[in-house]
Amino acid sequence: MIRRTRVEIDLAAIVGNARAVQSIAGTALYAVVKADGYGHGAVSVAKALTAARAASGFCVSLVEEGVALRDAGVSAPILVMGPSQVGGEEDMVAAGLSPVISSDEELDALGHVARHRTEPVEAHMKIDTGMGRLGVAVERAAELAVEASRNGIRIVGLMTHFACADTDDPMDPDSVTRRQLRAFAAADRAVVAAGAPVRVRHAANSSGALLFPEARFDLVRCGLAIYGNGHWATEGQLPQARHQAMRLVTAIAQLRAVPAGSSVGYGATWTASRDSRVAVLPCGYADGLPRRASGRAQVAIRGKRVPLVGRISMDIAMADVTDLPDVSVGDPVVLLGRASGGASISTAEYGAWSGQSEYEVTCGMSKRVPRTYVEAVQ
């Protein structure tokens, strides 16, 4: 490895977070590893969780993501949540993936494959209980379950997805989440009455699993929580067990003297108010350090926070290290994650500097930045 800029993934932290979620939820955990495990590396995360028996299955969005896990030797159940499934039905069935039906078109496409098989294809049905994106309307769930059976598809799972579990008041009996749960229960009754052999029900994402006990059902689908991100202050348990799994680190490439009155970077957006010393960091917006964070972002060097100055460019950022007289070329720099001296930078803070969510932060780490892994404990 030539570059000093790298993303470090603590697999032991992910395993520990997953176990904490399982302990709180008291049910099976399907780890969400779509979008390359939210930027953490889907294959590495899935293998670590499987080896540690910290997840019962995995959730992806694309057929290709599920097939890639199978090709890497992951044998646990894999749920393909969509919506990009049409055209991939043969591959899903051949790889032993679990399709999710959320529309007439998906039912028809999967039925075309299922009708040519000797055994029914098992699938989950997604119910739209208020998210308004994907899913079968509650009123049509039973009808589609019957149609699925006619087409050689066995509906063995029912699922929904929460719109507001991360912002709803867990004590509010009429919150959006609880209204969704009531709608899901109605769909469940109708589908079972229609003869579908449902054996698995699931609704909860990370927030739903941790804040709404009645939403845990047979399994929970968690992504953000297992990667050590998110805020669940009212839950009171996971914050103590949670460990952020991702770090973005680099090293000082050069040190430059900047006289008072001189500027740094494109657009001359920062001018030194005193004779200054500035560190050149070989990391920019092509690596996952957003340009919109210019003028707001900070980094940790030798256990202390210092500001980035000037405009973040494609490959370079500049840090004002005037108040760190002992800093040297080659010193490590933490842009995201744990650092010494209490100077850690969370994904929430990192995202706030550029108006991004925590999901965008980790998913936005560039593929040109090498990943290194700390192996998980068993």
Catalogue the active-site residues.
Answer: 34, 266
Distance of CA 61 to the CA centre of its chain: 12
Q: Give dist(CA 231, CA 349) in Å, integer.
A: 12
Task: Point out which residues pair with 222 in neighbouring strands.
Answer: 31
Closest CA to 249 of 341, 376, 365: 365
Which helix (H) or strand (E) segment holds residue 157: the answer is strand 153-159
Q: What's the N-to-C CA distance of the chain in angstroms? A: 28
Task: Say which amino acid occupies 136.
Answer: V
Q: Give dist(CA 254, CA 241) in Å, integer.
A: 38
For residues 308 and 344, is the Cβ–Cβ distance under 8 A?
no
Q: Residue 117 is encoded by which pair of tokens? A: 């098989």
Query: What size, in residues, is the chain?
Result: 378
Distance of CA 131 to the CA centre of its chain: 19
Q: What is the dihedral of CA 9, 13, 19, 22, to 10 degrees?
A: -60
